């Protein structure tokens, strides 16, 4: 008999797998609530919110949307600070880019376990499928997540449970094993068929993963930041700024962040009290933030590079305003740098 008394917390990423895994367990009469962790690197929303050209796309948070489809509560937890250690010191290393997937999954399940204990829930659900992801979802790494997170047999993966040893909710009869699935491998077909069976027609399909750390360009910028900051520690603003603009490092001691369009310029405006910023007053052009300790000579170089990205790029001379965080500003006339003098290696 389905048992209403038992409660599960489900890790909701906003993708199809966690949607289905949750639904499968709800179908067995279990009370489920969702949990979603915000690490600061989640692809969710941010870029849409910043970039004007993306603003006609629906700006919905997929995890909230999934919870609404399922009719369950969703608890969104800020884990930005705790996540630093996962990213900086991953026990199991990184994937293809700076994605510490195995440690990340373990961390998230351990946080879900903590929530479960505080709220007297009985077990944890994830949408993991054996063989789906090269690092965290292999037959040999799935027990690692269960063990290292401390969740042990209270971790149920409904989409591939039939390929794994029976967990506590199955052994206790809270859920029927035959009502779970035995998916494996990279094919998405079984999930799509199950989605159709449940009548889910629309869902997010994250390509590489659920966060920016799987993105090569983003990871390159993060490595550059770590190489040039005194420690690998970071604040939310640091990692947010890696998502915006063109990043150019003409000298070891400073980097320029050049807005690529209106939405980014507007977002970057909010940082003018923390960084020296440049903008062209004689022509239109992007807002530029300077990250690092700079000399007057560095600022002239930065101004000539910034001039190359504005409407005055072919003018003999443009006026750039140098704005300091304390509110002072200084105009300088510079010639836009010749394209041949922009070293490709400066692009981060």
Partner 1 sequence: MSTYQLDARRLLCPMPVIKVQNRASELNTGDILEVVCTDPGAVNDVPAWCRINGHEVISAGQEGDEVKIILQIGETDE
- Residue 46's binding partner among ligand SF4, partner 1, none (Cβ under 5 to 8 angstroms by kind) is partner 1
141 binds ligand SF4 (CB under 6 A): no
Distance, CA of 143 to CA of 152 (rounded, Å): 8
Window 174-213: residues binding ligand SF4 (CB under 6 A): 209-211, 213
214 binds ligand SF4 (CB under 6 A): yes
Question: Least CB distance from residue 65 to partner 1, whole Å?
Answer: 7
Residues in the chain: 348
Least CB distance from residue 99 to partner 1, whole Å?
20
Measure the CA angle with vertex 15, ends 22 and 49; round to 5°: 130
CA nearest to 16, candidates 196, 177, 170: 196
Write the DSSP assignment of 56-94 as a string of letters.
TS----HHHHHHHHHT--EEEEE-HHHHHHHHHS-TT--
Strands 7-11, 31-38: parallel, antiparallel or unpaired by DSSP? parallel
CA distance 40 to 30: 31
> Which partner, ligand SF4, partner 1, none, binds residue 73 by CB below 5 to 8 Å per kind?
partner 1
Minimum distance of ligand SF4 from residue 206's CB (angstroms): 8
Task: Tell me how far, at minimum, the Cβ of 266 lies from partner 1, in Å.
Answer: 9
How far is the first Cα of the chain from the last one, in angstroms, to the nearest whole number? 58
Q: Choosing among partner 1, ligand SF4, none, which partner's interface includes residue 308 (Cβ < 5 to 8 Å by kind)?
A: none
Q: Which is nearer to partner 1, 67 or 299 (CB)?
A: 67
- What is the binding site for partner 1 (CB under 8 A)? 36, 38, 42, 44-46, 48-50, 55, 58-61, 63-65, 67-68, 71-78, 240, 270
Residue number, 159 or 213, with CB nearest to ligand SF4: 213
Spatial contact of 278 and 320, defined as CB atoms under 8 Å apart = yes
Contact residues for ligand SF4, defined by CB under 6 A = 99-101, 104-105, 136, 209-211, 213-214
């Amino acid at each position: 008999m389905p048992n209403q008394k038992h409660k599960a917390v489900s890790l909701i990423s906003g993708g199809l797998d966690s949607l289905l895994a949750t639904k499968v367990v709800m179908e067995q009469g279990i009370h489920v609530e969702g949990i979603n962790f915000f690490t600061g690197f989640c692809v969710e929303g941010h870029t849409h919110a910043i970039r004007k050209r993306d603003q006609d796309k629906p700006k919905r948070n997929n995890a909230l949307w999934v919870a609404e489809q399922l009719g369950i509560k969703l608890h969104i937890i800020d884990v930005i600070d705790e996540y630093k250690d996962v990213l900086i010191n991953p026990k199991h290393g990184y994937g293809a880019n700076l994605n510490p997937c195995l440690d990340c999954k373990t961390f998230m399940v351990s946080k879900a376990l903590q929530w479960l204990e505080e709220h007297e829930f009985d077990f944890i659900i994830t949408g993991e499928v054996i063989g789906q992801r090269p690092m965290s979802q292999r037959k040999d790494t799935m027990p690692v997540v269960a063990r290292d997170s401390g969740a042990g047999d209270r971790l149920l993966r409904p989409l591939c449970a039939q390929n794994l040893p029976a967990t506590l909710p199955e052994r206790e009869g809270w859920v029927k094993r035959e009502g779970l699935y035995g998916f494996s491998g990279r094919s998405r077909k079984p999930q799509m068929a199950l989605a159709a069976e449940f009548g889910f027609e629309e869902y997010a399909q994250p390509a590489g993963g659920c966060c920016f750390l799987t993105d090569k360009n983003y990871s390159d910028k993060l490595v550059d930041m770590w190489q040039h900051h005194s420690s690998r520690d970071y604040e939310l603003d640091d990692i947010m700024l890696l998502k915006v603009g063109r990043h150019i490092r003409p000298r070891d001691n400073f980097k320029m962040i050049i807005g690529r369009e209106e939405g980014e310029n507007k977002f970057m405006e909010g940082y003018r009290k923390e960084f020296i910023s440049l903008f062209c007053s004689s022509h239109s052009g992007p807002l530029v933030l300077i990250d690092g300790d700079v000399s007057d000579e560095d600022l002239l170089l930065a101004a000539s590079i910034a001039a190359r990205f504005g409407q005055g790029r072919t003018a003999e001379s443009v006026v750039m305003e140098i704005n300091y965080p304390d509110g002072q500003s200084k105009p300088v006339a510079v010639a836009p740098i010749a394209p041949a003098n922009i070293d490709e290696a400066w692009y981060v």
